[in-house]
Amino acid sequence: MARIAVIGAGMGAMAAAARLAVAGHRPVVLERASTYGGAVGRIERDGFAFDTGPALLPLPAVYRDLFIKTGKEPLEDLVGLTQVEPAVRHVFADGTTTDLPNARRAGVAEALDAAVGAGAGARWSAFMNRAREAWDRTRRPLLEEPLWPNWQVLADREPYPAAPRKRLLRAARTATTLAEIGVLELGGDPRLVALLEQYALAYGLDPRTAPASAAVLPYMEQTFGTWAVTGGMRALADAVYARCLKRKVEFRFGAEVTRIVEKDGRAAGVELADGTVEDAEFVVAGVAPGVLDRLLPERSVQGEVPARSEAEVPSRLTVHLALRGARPEGTPHRTVVHGADRGAELAWLFDGGPLAQRPTVTVLRSGDASQVPDAEHEAVSVTVTVPPHARVAEGDVEQVLAAAERAVPGLRERLLWHEVRTPRDIAEATGADGGAVPAPALAAARGNLLQAANRTALPGLFAVGGWSHPGGGLPHAGMSGALVAGLIVEGPEFRGSQ
């Protein structure tokens, strides 16, 4: 029964703490803020409520497993889960609109044939079949197992298979990036390209350099579905926190960790901003790499994985809108309004170019009665991926609203007030430099898109959450909690929870 200091109360750290407590350990979670959840926050005003972090849940199986393993309770008994239908509406730059059904790949193909033209669905389906191969090859090492000590194998080998080539096109190249898949395998139709590349943009990845295996991102969504949580995603954070309390995990809020204490070459506790020291046999850090570096300035603990520094990783700008008037019947939960100019948007996001006019935005209109004062009002959130450290000016918000109007007609006339959440707000909520938001770990790309191993170079110190293996996002961070708990409970022989 070991005392374990857990730094931060993000979703990954809480998932680890609950599992460690069930295994008989005594975790104490030290959180600098006054609440838990990190990125998974909520703002409330005048009867409106908005998620400040992710609003939809992919792969709920990860949280099902957490609640079963830490208390034999089905997730559905603790939070309301609904598969959103349609999964998403796409509004392309040329005005083409299509609704894609949730987790019905045949339905997606039909919708694409109808919207883009005969053959589009077949091309997309063939791509999804190749994406499934990449998923099958990487699901265990990039979701369910601790990072392999020989992770270079993952960095060097592209798991996305080559598309079969027609004889005449023997000279054709094999796609190595997501952008190349768009041209070589989806025929370069700007709408299919936009559909594909939006998956990279939504995770802050550059489709021109994201490896072909980033195909697992659309595969996950279109195969396993997208879920809404009743009351908003904060309700999931509430449930994980409640589970921790039930398992006697101790929480201290307003407790900023300023140093990891090292004794005899091992992590031996943490020091807090008020100077007190918390002794521990293990330390679990659920914080961004820049924070971790500051906690152990004398040594590098992150191992050899060449993951991008958070300073290069994009953030998000979100505008929450309180609207008068009811949400129209049949409104999709999520609409992606594609950018007007792909080249300008990529240059803005990844090459330091000027602000793109009308960038790609995601509009969320949940229809959850608990998030509005009454049925005569609507809560809408509009999110755009922005460059790291982006400063937000009034003109940027205007661009976002202009794009959102394509999904919410009459938006300006209905607007009561709006609240802007900037990269700086995200940095405040998570501690990540520039408000960077980590993506799920991906293979290939010379290892640039892997995340640091959960075991660090300092014995007794483990990394959990979106900035460690298997990367960012709610399911992946939840899995990191399972992996860290497994590594502490079972030791270095632990090979995954399945």
**Taking contact as CB under 6 A, which single stretch among the options 32-40, 100-108, 172-180, 320-328 is the one that binds ligand FAD?**
32-40
SS3 for 235? helix
The tokens describing 280, both together, are: 């521990």
Question: x/- string (CB under 6 A) for ligand FAD, residues 267-286?
Answer: -------------------x
Please, which residue, 59 or 186, has the CB nearer to ligand FAD?
A: 59
Bridge partners (DSSP) of residue 270 are 260, 278
CB of 287 to ligand FAD, least distance (A): 4
CB of 11 to ligand FAD, least distance (A): 4
Distances (CA, A) of 439 to 202, 306, 465: 9, 15, 11
Please, which residue, 278 or 345, has the CB nearer to ligand FAD?
A: 278
How many Cα atoms occupy the beta-carbon half-sphere of 364 within 13 Å? 25
The amino acid at residue 85 is: E
Separation between Cα atoms, residue 303 and residue 52, nearest integer Å: 32
Question: x/- string (CB under 6 A) for ligand FAD, residues 410-429?
Answer: ----------------x---
Determine, following the binding rule CB under 6 A, whether residue 473 of this chain makes contact with ligand FAD.
yes
Evaluate the omega torsion of the peptide bond into residue 470 and state whether it is cis, within 30 degrees of 0. yes
The amino acid at residue 484 is: V
Pairing of strands 3-7, 226-229: unpaired
CB of 277 to ligand FAD, least distance (A): 14
The answer to whether residues 9 and 18 touch, using CB atoms and an 8 Å cutoff, is no
CB of 314 to ligand FAD, least distance (A): 11
Number of residues that bind ligand FAD (CB under 6 A): 35
Determine, following the binding rule CB under 6 A, whether residue 175 of this chain makes contact with ligand FAD.
no
Q: Which of 16, 21, 23, 40 is the binder for ligand FAD (CB under 6 A)?
A: 40
Determine, following the binding rule CB under 6 A, whether residue 53 of this chain makes contact with ligand FAD.
yes
Determine, following the binding rule CB under 6 A, whether residue 441 of this chain makes contact with ligand FAD.
no
Determine, following the binding rule CB under 6 A, whether residue 363 of this chain makes contact with ligand FAD.
no
SS3 for 41? coil
Helix (H) or strand (E) holding 45: strand 42-45
**Taking contact as CB under 6 A, which single stretch among the options 2-10, 105-113, 175-183, 296-304 is the one that binds ligand FAD?**
2-10
Separation between Cα atoms, residue 169 and residue 51, nearest integer Å: 48
CB of 201 to ligand FAD, least distance (A): 11
Dihedral in degrees, nearest 10, Cα atoms 176, 177, 179, 182: 50
SS3 for 429? helix
The answer to whether residues 311 and 433 touch, using CB atoms and an 8 Å cutoff, is yes
Determine, following the binding rule CB under 6 A, whether residue 30 of this chain makes contact with ligand FAD.
yes
Q: Which of 33, 142, 220, 485 is the binder for ligand FAD (CB under 6 A)?
A: 33
Determine, following the binding rule CB under 6 A, whether residue 12 of this chain makes contact with ligand FAD.
yes
Separation between Cα atoms, residue 427 and residue 423, nearest integer Å: 6
The set of residues, in sequence order, having a beta carbon less than 8 Å from that of 258 and lying 6+ positions away, is 271, 272, 273, 295
Determine, following the binding rule CB under 6 A, whether residue 31 of this chain makes contact with ligand FAD.
yes
Q: Which of 75, 361, 437, 453 is the binder for ligand FAD (CB under 6 A)?
A: 437
Helix (H) or strand (E) holding 483: helix 474-490
Determine, following the binding rule CB under 6 A, whether residue 32 of this chain makes contact with ligand FAD.
yes
Q: What is the DSSP string of 6-19?
A: EE--SHHHHHHHHH
CB of 322 to ligand FAD, least distance (A): 18
Query: Which of 216, 439, 476, 169 lies closest to 315, judged by CA?
Result: 439
3-state helix, strand, coil in the chain (%, to 5): 35, 20, 40
The tokens describing 234, both together, are: 């904060």
Determine, following the binding rule CB under 6 A, whether residue 231 of this chain makes contact with ligand FAD.
no
For the chain, give the number of residues. Answer: 498
Please, which residue, 121 or 332, has the CB nearer to ligand FAD?
A: 332
CB of 421 to ligand FAD, least distance (A): 7
Separation between Cα atoms, residue 130 and residue 47, nearest integer Å: 46
Q: Which of 204, 438, 460, 486 is the binder for ligand FAD (CB under 6 A)?
A: 438
**Taking contact as CB under 6 A, which single stretch among the options 9-17, 185-193, 212-220, 374-382 is the one that binds ligand FAD?**
9-17
Determine, following the binding rule CB under 6 A, whether residue 226 of this chain makes contact with ligand FAD.
no
Determine, following the binding rule CB under 6 A, whether residue 193 of this chain makes contact with ligand FAD.
no
Determine, following the binding rule CB under 6 A, whether residue 367 of this chain makes contact with ligand FAD.
no
CB of 194 to ligand FAD, least distance (A): 18
CB of 184 to ligand FAD, least distance (A): 28
**Taking contact as CB under 6 A, which single stretch among the options 154-162, 451-459, 465-473, 486-494 is the one that binds ligand FAD?**
465-473
Determine, following the binding rule CB under 6 A, whether residue 121 of this chain makes contact with ligand FAD.
no
336 phi/psi in degrees, rounded to 5: -100, 120
Determine, following the binding rule CB under 6 A, whether residue 291 of this chain makes contact with ligand FAD.
yes
Determine, following the binding rule CB under 6 A, whether residue 261 of this chain makes contact with ligand FAD.
no
- For residue 432, give the DSSP letter: -
Query: Which of 379, 390, 443, 386 lies closest to 415, judged by CA?
Result: 379
The answer to whether residues 465 and 436 touch, using CB atoms and an 8 Å cutoff, is no
Please, which residue, 165 or 391, has the CB nearer to ligand FAD?
A: 391
- Chain residues binding ligand FAD by CB under 6 A are 7-13, 30-33, 38-40, 53-54, 256-257, 286-287, 291, 316, 318, 426, 430-431, 437-438, 465-467, 472-474, 477
